[in-house]
Structure formats: C-alpha cells, structure tokens
C-alpha cells in the first residue's frame, strides 16, 4: 500500500510543480472515511462548493468519501506524502502519527454538550492544539463536529458489568482503549470501513459511534441493541498538507480559508440535527432495540470510567486535561 501511496504522491507533486496554466486548476483531493450524507460528508461538500466559487474555479476539490481512496491509517500517511491534500480524521486518530494530545477529546464524559465543546475549539486551547500538527507536515484548519457516541452490541448494555469480556471495536486511541478496559471489555483497534463486517461476522461483539455513523454504515442491521449513552464525543480536525498549503498563492489561500470558515459554520450548525435524524431513521427500521439508562445506571457508567482520567494522564498530559476541564467548567461526573 505504501508503494501505491508513494506513486500517487509523486504524480501529485508533479501536478503541483508543473507549469501553471489557465486551464489547469489547483486540485485538492479530499479523502474521508464516512458516507456523504453525514456531518463530515456535508461539510466537505460545502467546502468544495465554496472553494470553487470563491476562487472562480482556480481550485477544484475532489471528494473521495467512504474510504474509497484510503482507509484510516493510510489516509494520514497519504496526506503526509502529498498523495492527497486534505482530510478530516477524528480526534482519536492522531496518536499513531505522534500527536497524542487530541485524545483528550476521547476522555469519557468530558463534554456535556456541543456548546461547551465550542469553548475549547474556538478558544486558545483549540488553536494551540492545531499548531501541534505543523511538525507532522500538516496544517490544522478547523474543527468539525460529528456528535456524541452510543454503545451497541448483541446484548443489552445497561451497566458496567454488561461489558465484561465483550470485544469492542475502537478507533486508534489509547484513551478509548483504557475506556473499554475500565469496563472490563476487550478493545480492538480497527479501521472504520471494516466495522460493519466485523460486527456481522462476530469478529467483535460491539462498538461505539454516533447515530449518524451507525445509521449510514448500517451497523443497526447487525447489532440487536443500541444504548443511548452519550458517553463520548467524535469530532474532526480538518488538516491540509503543509507544503501544499504554504505553497499556494496568498490570494487563493485566503479564499480557501474563507470557504473553510463558512463550511465549518455550516457543518457544525447542522451536525446535531443530522444525528437526530439518523436516530429517527434507525428507530424506523426496527432492526435494533434502542435502550436508555436510568439516572443510576448513567452514574454507574460514569463512575466505572473515571479511572481512565488518571490512567492516561501521563500520555495525554495532566496539565492539558486540567486546562480542558477548566475551559468546560464541568466535572465529567455530572
């Protein structure tokens, strides 16, 4: 695969370095792993529309959804090598390239709602986190929402004991690994594109994801129960290859920055609604039973996951966790 990515990267490099002509627009290949009708898919489409409009067609954005070009791990390599120019991986996927700080967003119950999230991403902490990506050959442009995660399996998940011994698919985040271990479950890192089949064939017993991802990947067809837990958050960092970005004519970069800002506002104002609609759509299929927790069960889940904060403190950084909690002004226990 790496050889393929490298070959694609050299073609892309030639395209960027070649003589500019009025006929050849600057191409931004934007690869992502979810369906087009998701918060990320819709924001990417909005960015495409605005970027092409604001640059008078001097920029062409090609979107490759649903892992059609690259899967999770490969897409980050492809971006670093210049085979694609733009991605929006979830916060949970930056650990393997050496940026562990984004895993702070994975801490259980760290965000009570999207309004609180905005305080972090729109504030100095959010800006500082984006800066960490510079040393990895990428520039962080924006934070895009998906929403809050729910738990699913073929057995009812109502209290911590129900998780014991079950295998759960996780994204490549050590915080998520610690979260499932805290519940006595067995976490297994897996690319997003492989989840449906893994659930169907029993390679894993369960998973956590947003309503939008559950519905668009049809996970509800292969999971008997989904529990509304809202125990964690999935959001994205829009990243662009740094060399490509820095090499753009300043006026083009300005227009793309404008397009990104507006696409972000558009996407983030629609994400909650998207997830609501996906929940309704899952309900309508009648394929999964949707469970909710009593206040006591909710409290027991929070309590069971609290040790994760201590466990990952040295990895994610205690000062960062403290600063994050200060920004949210909330305790994860309520």
Note the residues at the interface with ligand LMR (CB under 6 A).
33-34, 40, 90, 146, 171, 192, 209, 213, 234
Least distance in angstroms from the C-beta of 71 to ligand LMR: 10
Least distance in angstroms from the C-beta of 288 to ligand LMR: 17
- Nearer residue to ligand LMR within complex by CB, 105 or 309: 105
Least distance in angstroms from the C-beta of 42 to ligand LMR: 12
Least distance in angstroms from the C-beta of 317 to ligand LMR: 22
Least distance in angstroms from the C-beta of 21 to ligand LMR: 36
Closest-CA residue to 125 (of 312, 261, 316): 316
Give dist(CA 8, CA 216) in Å, integer.
29
- Nearer residue to ligand LMR within complex by CB, 147 or 332: 147
Least distance in angstroms from the C-beta of 40 to ligand LMR: 6
- Residue that has been written with the tokens 């989840």 in this structure: 195
Buried b (16+ CB within 10 A) or exposed e, 116-137: ebeebbeeebbeebbebbeebb
Give dist(CA 220, CA 25) in Å, integer.
42
Least distance in angstroms from the C-beta of 126 to ligand LMR: 19
- Nearer residue to ligand LMR within complex by CB, 80 or 146: 146
Q: The tokens of 102 are what? A: 């984004």
- Nearer residue to ligand LMR within complex by CB, 33 or 293: 33
- Nearer residue to ligand LMR within complex by CB, 90 or 275: 90
- Nearer residue to ligand LMR within complex by CB, 54 or 144: 144
Say how many C-beta atoms besides its own lie within 10 A of residue 236's C-beta. Answer: 24
Least distance in angstroms from the C-beta of 219 to ligand LMR: 10
- Nearer residue to ligand LMR within complex by CB, 33 or 86: 33
Say how many C-beta atoms besides its own lie within 10 A of residue 303's C-beta. Answer: 12
Least distance in angstroms from the C-beta of 91 to ligand LMR: 9
DSSP structure class, residue 90? B
- Nearer residue to ligand LMR within complex by CB, 34 or 141: 34
- Nearer residue to ligand LMR within complex by CB, 26 or 195: 195
Per 3-state DSSP, the chain is made up of helix, strand and coil in percentages (nearest 5) of 55, 20, 30
Q: The tokens of 6 are what? A: 């490298």
- One DSSP character per residue, 104-155 reads GGGSTT--SSHHHHHHHHTSHHHHHHHHTTGGGTEEEEEEEEEEE-EEEESS
Give dist(CA 264, CA 129) in Å, integer.
17
Give dist(CA 59, CA 162) in Å, integer.
51
HSE at residue 324, side-chain half, CA atoms within 13 A, is 27
- Residue that has been written with the tokens 């960027």 in this structure: 16
Contact 210, 147 (CB under 8 A): yes
Q: In what order do the strands lie in the sheet with 167-170?
A: 186-189, 167-170, 206-209, 150-153, 225-228, 289-292
């Amino acid at each position: 695969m790496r050889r393929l990515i490298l070959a694609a990267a050299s073609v892309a490099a030639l395209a960027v370095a070649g003589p500019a002509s009025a006929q050849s627009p600057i191409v931004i290949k934007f690869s992502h792993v979810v369906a087009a009708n998701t918060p990320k898919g819709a924001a990417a489409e909005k960015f495409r529309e605005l970027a092409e409009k604001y640059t008078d067609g001097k920029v062409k954005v090609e979107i490759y959804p649903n892992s059609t070009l690259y899967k999770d791990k490969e897409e980050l390599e492809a971006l670093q090598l210049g085979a694609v120019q733009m991605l929006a991986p979830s916060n949970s996927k930056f650990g393997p390239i050496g940026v562990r700080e984004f895993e702070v967003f994975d801490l259980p119950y760290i965000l009570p709602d999207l309004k609180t999230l905005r305080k972090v991403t729109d504030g100095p902490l959010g800006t500082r986190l984006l800066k960490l990506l510079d040393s990895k050959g990428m520039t962080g442009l924006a934070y895009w929402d998906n929403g809050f995660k729910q738990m699913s399996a073929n057995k009812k998940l109502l209290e911590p004991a129900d998780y014991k011994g079950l295998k759960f698919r996780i994204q490549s985040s050590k915080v998520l690994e610690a979260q499932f271990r805290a519940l006595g479950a067995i976490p297994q890192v897996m690319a997003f594109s492989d989840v449906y089949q893994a659930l169907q064939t029993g390679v894993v017993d369960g998973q956590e994801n947003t309503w939008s991802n559950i519905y668009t990947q049809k996970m509800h067809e292969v999971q008997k129960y989904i529990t509304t837990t809202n125990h964690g958050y999935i959001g994205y960092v829009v990243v662009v290859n740094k060399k490509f970005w820095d090499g753009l004519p300043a006026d083009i970069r300005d227009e793309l920055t404008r397009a990104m800002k507006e696409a972000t506002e558009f996407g983030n104002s629609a994400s909650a609604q998207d997830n609501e609609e996906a929940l309704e759509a899952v309900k309508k299929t009648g394929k999964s039973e949707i469970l909710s927790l009593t206040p006591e069960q909710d409290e027991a889940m929070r309590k069971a996951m609290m040790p994760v904060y201590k466990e990952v403190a040295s990895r994610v950084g205690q000062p960062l966790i403290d600063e994050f909690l200060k920004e949210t002004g909330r305790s994860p226990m309520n």
